[in-house]
């Protein structure tokens, strides 16, 4: 009897599978409001003045040459009478408070406020604790925080390969708000699920343009491979990423997963995994 029931269930799942309509990639488009979680960063306590001040100071950060330029402009306006002594003093104080990074602690939970020039929005807020209940939509998962720290450390190196690009940006993706994802078949529910990578990079080198999804969570092998399969259906072709033409650019859309510990895959999936930021760049640039 059990065998008959199992066969009936198998047949039903098969017909359910045939009814699944996979999502299709339509076209490349300019980013509008698909990434919007940073507009929803909310602080749930009114007495966090230190945090709000730190966000303002880091968000206003300028390098030394730009700071000197702003100080000179303020002085010139003071001399010409465009601003008062008080207004000049406020500008100088604001320039003096700005910082590339600040740390705020509340209820024994630390937040780091960072100015990373290549991030889609500034400042970037990270938590040293995975659960912070007084602020939402920040980077707080341990693997994501480590990835950002590793990325920042790599950028500081004089020989980093990001310098080979004309320009580049990256952004954290928030699956609860942002509308960027990769559909894939999930056999656990016998339907299409959405894979939301943690980060997205945009990089331009000459006429080559790269859109790269990066996920540093080191997900379970089988789950990761299904997500890779979903990516390949949309953006793969003969074992390589498809080449799209958009406004004169050769556009490649890539997916890369950062291994954690022994996580990773072998065989055809191995090319999607990296351990270090330098390896990530090598995989992006290998097509150029």
Instruction: Tell me the pLDDT tens digit for each residue of 1-18.
Output: 444 445 454 444 434 443
- Residue 40 has what DSSP assignment? G
**Residue 86 confidence (pLDDT):** 94
| CA distances to 1, 84, 146 from 6, in Å | 9, 83, 45
The pTM (predicted TM-score) of the whole model is 0.77
Q: Are 202 and 169 in contact (CB under 8 A)?
A: yes
- Quick one: three-class SS letters along 163-211? HHCCEEEEEECCCCCCCCCEEEEECCCCEEEEECCCEEEEEEECCEEEE
Q: Which residues of the chain have pLDDT under 70?
A: 1-48, 129-136, 176-178, 218-222, 261-266
- Give the per-residue pLDDT at 203: 93
Q: Are 214 and 251 in contact (CB under 8 A)?
A: no
pLDDT of residue 208: 94
112-169 pLDDT, tens digit each: 889 888 888 788 888 876 666 666 678 888 889 999 999 999 999 999 999 999 999 9
Look at residue 7 in the predicted model and tell me its pLDDT: 44
> How much is the pLDDT for 155?
94
CA dihedral 151, 154, 155, 157 (to 10 degrees): 170
- My answer on whether omega of the bond before 64 falls inside 30° of 0, hence cis, is no
**∠ Cα 280 212 258 (to 5°):** 40
> What pLDDT was estimated at residue 201?
92
């Amino acid at each position: 009897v059990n065998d008959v029931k199992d066969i009936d269930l198998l047949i039903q799942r098969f017909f359910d599978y045939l009814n699944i309509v996979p999502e299709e990639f339509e076209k490349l488009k300019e980013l509008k409001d698909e990434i919007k979680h940073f507009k929803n960063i909310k602080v749930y306590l009114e007495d966090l003045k230190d945090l709000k001040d730190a966000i303002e100071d880091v968000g206003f950060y300028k390098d030394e040459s730009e700071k000197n330029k702003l100080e000179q402009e303020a002085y010139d306006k003071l001399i010409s009478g465009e601003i008062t002594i008080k207004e000049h003093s406020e500008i100088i104080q604001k320039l003096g408070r700005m910082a590339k990074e600040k740390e705020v602690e509340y209820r024994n939970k630390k937040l780091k406020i960072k100015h990373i020039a290549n991030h889609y929005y500034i400042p970037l807020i990270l938590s040293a604790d995975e659960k912070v209940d007084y602020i939402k939509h920040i980077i707080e998962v341990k693997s994501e925080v480590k990835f950002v720290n590793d990325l920042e450390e790599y950028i500081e190196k004089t020989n980093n390969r990001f310098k080979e690009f004309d320009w580049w940006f990256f952004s954290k993706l928030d699956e609860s708000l942002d509308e960027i994802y990769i559909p894939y078949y999930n056999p656990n529910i016998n339907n299409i699920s959405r894979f939301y990578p943690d980060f997205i990079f945009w990089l331009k080198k000459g006429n080559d343009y790269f859109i790269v999804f990066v996920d540093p969570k080191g997900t379970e092998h089988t789950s990761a491979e299904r997500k890779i399969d979903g990516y390949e259906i949309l953006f793969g072709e003969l074992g390589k990423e498809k080449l799209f033409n958009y406004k004169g650019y050769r556009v490649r859309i890539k997916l890369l997963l950062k291994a954690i510990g022994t996580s990773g895959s072998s065989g055809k999936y191995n090319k999607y995994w990296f351990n270090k930021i330098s390896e990530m760049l090598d995989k992006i640039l290998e097509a150029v």
